[in-house]
Every structure is written in structure tokens, then in C-alpha cells.
Chains A and B, each alone.
Chain A
Amino acid sequence: MEARESGAAFKKETVFKLLSLYFKDDKTKVSSDAIVLMAEMLKIFVKEAAIRASKQAHTEDCDCVQVEHFEKILPQLLLDF
């Protein structure tokens, strides 16, 4: 399978800093498993956004995915997450 071709991923430290930026309580910590899972969640979010936008562009017979294609799929994307 081409599972290993997807080498891109969010770094654990980035994910941790992203989350702790919005924590209201300073004492809140994150387990390492949770960080790995959140990195997966964010990866799926980005890929879902990209794939849906590219499908929208394809529906409109465009080779290049523009912001307007992304804007059209954005509401459903946010509802699905």
C-alpha cells in the first residue's frame, strides 16, 4: 500500500503548543497518546478540506483549486467536525 508515502505530519510539539495556547487553565496537560491522536485529527481535517475543495474545483471544470472552491465546501466541513 502507499501508506508510507504520506510522510507529512504535524509535529508533536506543534500540536501541543497549539492546544495549550487555548487552554483556559494553566494546569491542563495533554497525554502523549492524545497528542498523537490530535495530530491525526488535524491531518484528516486538512486533507478532508483539500480533497473536498479539489472535488469542487473538478465539478466546476477547473484545474486549479481556488479560494472560492474552498469557501463552498467550508460550511459542511465545519459541521462534519
Chain B
Amino acid sequence: MADTEEQRKFTQTQRLKAAVHYTTGLFCQEVAEHKEVEFSKQTIAAIAETTFRQCEIFARDLEAFARHAKRTTVNAEDVKLTARRSNALFSFITQRSEELVSNNQEQKEKRKKAGGKAKKKSDAPLQSGMDEDEDSNIA
């Protein structure tokens, strides 16, 4: 029984390593075209393996940061902390994080407007709240 559990985990790890290797190959291809060099297969494999091992460090850090903030869900703030060692990296990740937040805001507003059409009321919950207060005063 323990063997099959180990085998399952081993297979999963192998699949993940293969996925990382594949994407690493794609990135190296882009750099190769850009810098007009070639990457040997061993180099791509070495970069992929290093990336895979770096994930362990990232994961442990992220979990520790989230736990320190008394959360069970890792969020963008934790990711920003892992990027703290390099100023350029930190500002890049912060910028991407802000882009994501503004994207989420836009999507929320779109959804509110779409929902508002169905209800026939305007997309301003504050106003409808005030209307109710006036009604209760009259009553």
C-alpha cells in the first residue's frame, strides 16, 4: 500500500518535472533567438532542474509567510515578499500585482453592470440603500 502511494507521488513529480522542462525549453528557445545563441540540451535540462528545486524554496517561503500572517491562503503579498532580494524584481512583481488588482476591479464593475440590467436598478448599491431608509421613515 505504501509502495503505490510512493509510486503515485513519484509519477506526479516526474510529470511536473517534465512540464517544467517543456516550458523551460520554450523560454530558452526565445532567448536563443533573441541573443542568437544555441542552448545545449544539457543546459536546458540543468536550468529546468534548478527551477524545479527553486520552487521548493518558494513554496516553503510562501507557506511560512502566509502562516505568519495567520492565513491559510497564500496571496499576492506573500509573493511580493519572496521577491524582496532584488529591487528590480520586487518593483516588477509589485507592478504586475497592481495590474492584476485593477483588472479584477474592472471585471467586478463589468459584472455589476451586467447584473444591474437584469434587475432594472442602477449599479449603485448605496443609492438603493438610502431609498429604503426614506421609505422606513415615512412608514
- A39-81 vs B, CB cutoff 8 Å, 1 = contact: the mask equals 0111111110111011101100001111101110010001111
Instruction: Choose among B16, B27, B42, B76 the residue with the greatest number of A CB atoms under 10 Å from its CB.
Output: B27
Q: Are A70 and B46 in contact (CB under 8 A)?
A: yes
Q: Which residue of B lies closest to A74 (CB)?
A: B50
Q: Are A8 and B26 in contact (CB under 8 A)?
A: yes
B-side interface residues toward A, CB under 8 Å?
A: 12-13, 16, 19-20, 23-24, 26-32, 35, 37-40, 42-43, 46-47, 50-52, 54-56, 58-60, 62-63, 66-67, 72-76, 78-80, 82-83, 85-86, 89, 92-93, 96-97, 100-101, 104
Which 9 residue pairs of A and B lie closest in terms of their CB atoms, listed nearest first? A8-B26, A22-B59, A50-B31, A37-B79, A19-B59, A31-B75, A29-B73, A30-B74, A46-B27
Known contacts A21-B56, A33-B75, A53-B43; 19 further A-B pairs (Cβ under 8 A): A18-B20, A18-B55, A30-B62, A30-B73, A30-B74, A31-B75, A33-B76, A37-B80, A37-B93, A37-B96, A37-B97, A41-B58, A44-B92, A47-B27, A47-B30, A63-B38, A71-B46, A74-B50, A81-B86
